[in-house]
Amino acid sequence: MIDLQWKKHGTRKLLIFDLDETLAHCVRHKFPSKDPDVFLDIPTPSGKLLNAGFNIRPFTKEILQLANKYFEICVFTASNKGYADTILDYIDPDQ
């Protein structure tokens, strides 16, 4: 069970996005056929930084901006918080 802390006053509708493969895609190949959109330093749970390439899905920023007008937005990932925060800070630097 999740105790959601509503941040937007006046709305009780929640839209949940899966970060992995829906909003962004981690490039796992050492020599991909196409360069990633961006390389980000991802903190690992052990405290090390991993420089990883990511492709941001087309229209990700636009759908998040539009959806934010009508919904509370929540992003889910099965990965760790440092991974999610780094990618989300890149996608939405204004929070």
pLDDT, tens only, 25-71: 998 766 667 889 999 999 988 999 999 999 999 999 999 999 999 99
pTM: 0.81
Q: What is the mean pLDDT of the segment spanning 12-32?
A: 86
CA distance 95 to 92: 5
Separation CA 64–CA 91 (nearest Å)? 9
Per-residue confidence (pLDDT) for residue 42, from 0 to 100:
93
Give residue limits of the domains in the chain: 14-91
One of 3.40.1390.20, 3.20.20.70, 3.40.50.1000, 3.40.50.1820 is the CATH number of 14-91, namely 3.40.50.1000
Q: Among candidates 80, 21, 86, which has minimal Cα distance to 51?
A: 86
Q: Which H or E run includes 73?
A: strand 72-76
CB 24 within 8 A of CB 85: no
Could you read off the pLDDT of 71-84 as tens digits, one per residue?
999 999 999 999 99
Could you tell me which residues are beta bridge partners of residue 14? Answer: 72
pLDDT of residue 31: 67
